[in-house]
Amino acid sequence: METLSKHEVFGGTLGYYRHASTSTQCAMRFTVFVPPKPTGAGLIFLSGLTCTEENFTTKAGAYRVAAELGLTIVVPDTSPRGDDVPDDESISLGKGAGFYLNATQEPWKKNYQMESYVAQELPALIEKEFAVKKFGLFGHSMGGHGTLTIGVKYKDRFHSFSALAPVCNPSVGGWGAAALEAYLGHDTGQWAQHDATQLMKTTKGDLPLILIDQGLADGAYKEGRLNPEAFVAACEQVGQPVKLRTHEGYDHGYFFIQTFIDDHLRHHAQQLGA
């Protein structure tokens, strides 16, 4: 692991890092905020389409409260990067659009193994280097999709969950369907393994309370690209605790995230025992 830079923030330390990933077979970047008094509780934030590790790090305004709560926050990139990594002109496929899944189709399958990276490789690295003992997972948009799908599948790794304007039902429509076909092929049964709504219907509903915030002035929400109501209905079907809060006037951007990030941090701190 290579340290690119370090900065003092609210009595803690924010570091930019790079390492050679065995999952994605390329160099991956991420940031880590370490609070002044770490509790051993760590959060991994999954960002949305077109983002890198920089967006949340500089725009979310999360570190003041994270410092108070003793939460370590890790922000990975959204996809593999590099000259040899396949890409596409669409903003919803290729670099910046890994969708937190393991691709099975060419030319994507060599590098686009983001599910393994987020669920296994990155937490193991953070445990070793930053002494995090217990992880929560949260995210925005495409990253909300990753949070909910990975959360259902890796219950032993992650112990708290929340999402802001998540993509909840991509196999049906909106953001994600084209990416799922490109990464996974034509078998929609494979798509269901990366669709939070479909996955939830097959679970025991035994995750801790999932917090979701959604802005009602969000263009993607109004166009039907997100569909949190479908996810909530799936949760209710299996008895999974979920809390969906909707907010008049809020859009899909980082001002929305800034407004509600403190609630999400406190939600995770409570569930992780921080």
CATH number for the domain harbouring residue 119: 3.40.50.1820
Answer yes or no: are the C-beta atoms of 149 and 199 closer than 8 Å: yes
- Residue count of the chain, please give it: 274
**Sign of the dihedral through C-alpha 121, 127, 130, 135:** positive
Give the number of domains in the chain. 1
Q: What pLDDT, on a 0 to 100 scale, did the predictor assign at position 77?
A: 98
Sheet (strand 2-9) strand order: 2-9, 12-21, 26-34, 72-76, 41-46, 134-140, 158-164, 210-215, 242-247
- Mapped onto helix, strand or coil, the DSSP state of residue 38 is coil
Cβ atoms within 10 A of the Cβ of 167, count? 32
72-76/26-34 β-pairing? antiparallel
Q: What pLDDT, on a 0 to 100 scale, did the predictor assign at position 174?
A: 67
pLDDT along the chain (274 residues), means of 10: 97 98 98 98 97 98 98 98 94 94 96 98 97 96 97 94 96 82 90 94 94 97 94 97 98 98 98 88
Answer yes or no: are the C-beta atoms of 135 and 248 closer than 8 Å: no
Contacts of 200 by beta carbon, 8 Å cutoff, 6+ apart? 148, 152, 231, 234, 235, 237, 238, 240
Measured between alpha carbons, how far is 176 from 142 in angstroms, rounded to an integer?
A: 8
Q: What pLDDT, on a 0 to 100 scale, did the predictor assign at position 5?
A: 98
Q: What pLDDT, on a 0 to 100 scale, did the predictor assign at position 86?
A: 95
Q: What pLDDT, on a 0 to 100 scale, did the predictor assign at position 7?
A: 98
How far lies 204's CA from each of 127, 227, 241, 243, in Å? 28, 22, 11, 17
> Catalytic site residues?
141, 218, 252
| Tokens coding 112 | 């686009």
Kindly tell me the burial class for residue 128, based on how many C-beta atoms sit within 10 Å of its own C-beta (0-12, 13-18, 19 or more): exposed
Domain with 82 in it: 2-272
Q: What pLDDT, on a 0 to 100 scale, did the predictor assign at position 189?
A: 85
Q: What pLDDT, on a 0 to 100 scale, did the predictor assign at position 171?
A: 87
User: Could you say which DSSP state residue 192 is in?
Assistant: G
Phi–psi pair at 112, nearest 5 degrees? -85, 75
Question: How many DSSP H helices and E strands does the chain contain?
Answer: 11, 9
Q: What pLDDT, on a 0 to 100 scale, did the predictor assign at position 105?
A: 96
Q: What pLDDT, on a 0 to 100 scale, did the predictor assign at position 176?
A: 80
Phi–psi pair at 51, nearest 5 degrees? -85, 160
Answer yes or no: are the C-beta atoms of 98 and 112 closer than 8 Å: yes
Contacts of 215 by beta carbon, 8 Å cutoff, 6+ apart? 165, 221, 246, 247, 249, 250, 251, 252, 256
